[in-house]
Amino acid sequence: MNPLYIVCILTGIIHFTETAASSLRLAGVRTGQIATSLSFVNATLLVTRTSNMLQAPFLGGLVDHAILTGQPDALINSFRLVILAAFVGNLLGAACTPFFVAVFTKAILRFEKAGSVPRLIAAAFLPKNIRSIAKLFCLPTKKSFINLTMKGVPTGFLWTNLIVVSVYAIGVLSSLYAGALVPEFRITASQLSAIVNGIATILLVTLVDPTCAYITDQAIRGKRPEADVRAMVFYIIAGRVVGTLILSQLLFLPSAEYIKSATLMVKGMFGQ
């Protein structure tokens, strides 16, 4: 299989899984076990981390091949296709959100009996449980979009979330492309992805996550309706879809130029 297709498939899986993890807040509110639901987030994101681990050598191979053939600009279309795969993964995850919420709600409630995540996963693969999970499958309906008002959700943090997810989708890709443009310092360029993703991380931990936690905690305590959490989850996931469809594509090359400039500055410090 073409290595680019492997990267695209793994990228789709990464974003599909991250979208699924977003629905765990709503499952936590419905079960009243927010701490357990957040621990499930980490378990779910193991799929993301594994996919990232598998994806890395293929991405590196694409860059090395482009450098060896003297065609670094060929990476632009390849990486835009990878970003498109991120959009597809988020879109499929968004379509499956009602199913994720139903499955995670049952999983959280059954966790007390299973006692551990490995046992819970093993039980899920029993034939009778596979049938039960299959019966839960559903896609969004008109009812899913009722009461998705922005009234109870701060709009500022939703716009911030849009920026964060868009930047995260292209941070590594931009640094790799910058490395292809400055091949003799490509390791330096790859390490400079943090100057792009770092901004997103600061916004995430200071503005996005605390607001999400605040809204969720208030819903758990009965100080705001569950509909506010539904709306929050909907708009967070919508931000992932729109961000990777539009904003990530727009930010990809400017971010690469930004990292390239930083790489050249570092290069100049070594007198080269």
Distance, in Å, from the CA atom of 36 to the CA atom of 143, rounded to the nearest integer, reads: 27
Q: Which of 248, 83, 249 is nearest to 166 (CA)?
A: 248
Q: Which of 247, 246, 245, 232 is nearest to 22 (CA)?
A: 232
Q: What is the pLDDT of residue 40?
A: 80
Q: Which of 203, 240, 246, 166 is nearest to 16 (CA)?
A: 240
pLDDT at 35 over 90: no
CB 170 within 8 A of CB 83: yes
Distance, in Å, from the CA atom of 47 to the CA atom of 25, rounded to the nearest integer, reads: 18
Q: What is the pLDDT of residue 143?
A: 81
Half-sphere CA count of 60, side-chain side, radius 13 A: 10
Half-sphere CA count of 117, side-chain side, radius 13 A: 11
Q: What is the pLDDT of residue 142?
A: 84
Distance, in Å, from the CA atom of 133 to the CA atom of 106, rounded to the nearest integer, reads: 9
Domain boundaries, the chain: 3-269
pLDDT at 1 over 80: no
pLDDT, averaged across the chain:
90
Nearest-10 crossing angle of helices 155-181, 74-95: 150
Q: What is the pLDDT of residue 154?
A: 87
Q: What is the pLDDT of residue 242?
A: 96
Distance, in Å, from the CA atom of 194 to the CA atom of 172, rounded to the nearest integer, reads: 8
Distance, in Å, from the CA atom of 167 to the CA atom of 170, rounded to the nearest integer, reads: 5
Distances (CA, A) of 236 to 163, 170, 176: 11, 18, 28
Q: What is the pLDDT of residue 272?
A: 58
pLDDT at 77 over 70: yes
Distances (CA, A) of 228 to 33, 139, 215, 240, 241: 17, 20, 8, 18, 20
Both tokens of 225, joined, read 């309706």
Tens-place pLDDT, residues 81-94: 999 999 999 999 99
